[in-house]
Amino acid sequence: MGSACIKVTKYFLFLFNLLFFILGAVILGFGVWILADRSSFIFVLQNSSSSLNVGAYVFIGVGAVTMLMGFLGCVGAVNEVRCLLGLYFAFLLLILITQVAAGVLFYFNMDKVKQEMGNIVIKLIQNYKDDQEDRLQEGWDYVQAQGKCCGWISFYNWTENAELMNRTNVTYPCSCEKKRDDDSHVVRKGFCEAPDANGTESINSPEDWPVYHEGCMEKVQMWLQDNLGIILGVCVGVAVIELLGMLLSICLCRHVHSEDYSKVPKY
C-alpha cells in the first residue's frame, strides 16, 4: 500500500473515531437522562424497577468506554502506534459483541418488560394517596395529564384505590380531568370533587367522573417505542462506525512496520 493510501486511511480512521467519540457521549447522555428525568414516565419506572436503573448505568458505562475507545483510536491513528491500534481493535470487537448480546436479550424480554411496567402502574394507582407529596405520584400525574388518559387499561383502574372509592361525593383523580385545549397546562395532583356535587351522593360512581376514559397503556408504550427507536438508531449507527473503524484500524495496523513511541503525546 502506498504512503498516500496509508495517509488517507489514517485520517479516515481519525474522522470515524471522532464521530465514534461523539456518539459515545450521546449514549452516555441517554443513561444520565434516564437517571435525571423527573417529569415523564421514565421517573415512574425508575423508582419502581431496578432493571431500568441497571440499564441506565449500563448505558453510562458503555458510553464512557466508547468515548475512551474513540480517544485511543484517534491517538493511535494520528501517531501510527500499532499497540494502540491493536488494543483499539480488540476493545471494539468486545463492545460490538456486547451490544449484539444486549440487543438480543432485550428483544426476547420485551413482553416481560411490558408486564412489569403494567404491574408497576397498577400498584401505584392502588396505593395513590391524596394530599401526599410523593415524586412517584407526581410523575404519574404528569403522564396522565400530558397523555390525556386515565388509569392503565382504562379509567376503571382507579376503582381499585380504596381511599378514592370510599369518598361519598363524586371524586376523581385530578390529573385525569378532561380539559379544553385552551386550559392551563399546570398538572393538578391528588383527588378532586366534581364541581356540581351537591353532597347527597352516597356512592362515588366512576361513570360520573369528568375524566378521560382511555387508559394510558398504549400511549406510554408508544412513547417508549419512540424513544427506544432513537436509542436503537444511535446504537446501530455506533455499530456501523465500529465495523468501519475495525476494518480501517486492522488495515492501518498491518502497514505500520515500526513503532515510534516518541510520537505518542506525554501527559
Q: Out of 154-168, 169-183, 185-199, which region has the weakest mean confidence (pLDDT)?
A: 185-199
**What digits encode the pLDDT tens for the residues 104-154?**
777 777 777 777 778 888 999 999 998 887 777 888 888 888 889 999 999
pLDDT, tens digit, for every residue of 184-228?
A: 567 888 999 887 655 555 678 899 899 999 999 888 888 777 777
- pTM, full prediction: 0.61
What is the enclosing helix (H) or strand (E) of 171?
strand 171-173
Give me the sign of the Cα torsion angle 226, 44, 191, 188: negative
What is residue 265's three-state secondary structure? coil
Q: Output the furthest CA–CA distance in the chain (Å, rounded).
A: 93
- Any idea which residue has 404519574 for its cell? 140
Name the burial class of residue 41, with classes exposed (0-12), middle (13-18) and buried (19+) by CB atoms within 10 angstroms of its CB.
buried
DSSP string, 38-81: -SSHHHHHHHH-HHHHHHHHHHHHHHHHHHHHHHHHHHHHHHT-
Q: If we measure between CA atoms, which residue out of 130, 241, 229 comes closest to residue 188? A: 130
Which grid cell is 222?
408508544
Q: How confident is the model at residue 267 (pLDDT cuts 50, 70, 90)?
A: very low
Q: Write out 193-214 in H/E/C secondary structure.
A: ECCCCCCCCCCCCHHHCCECCE
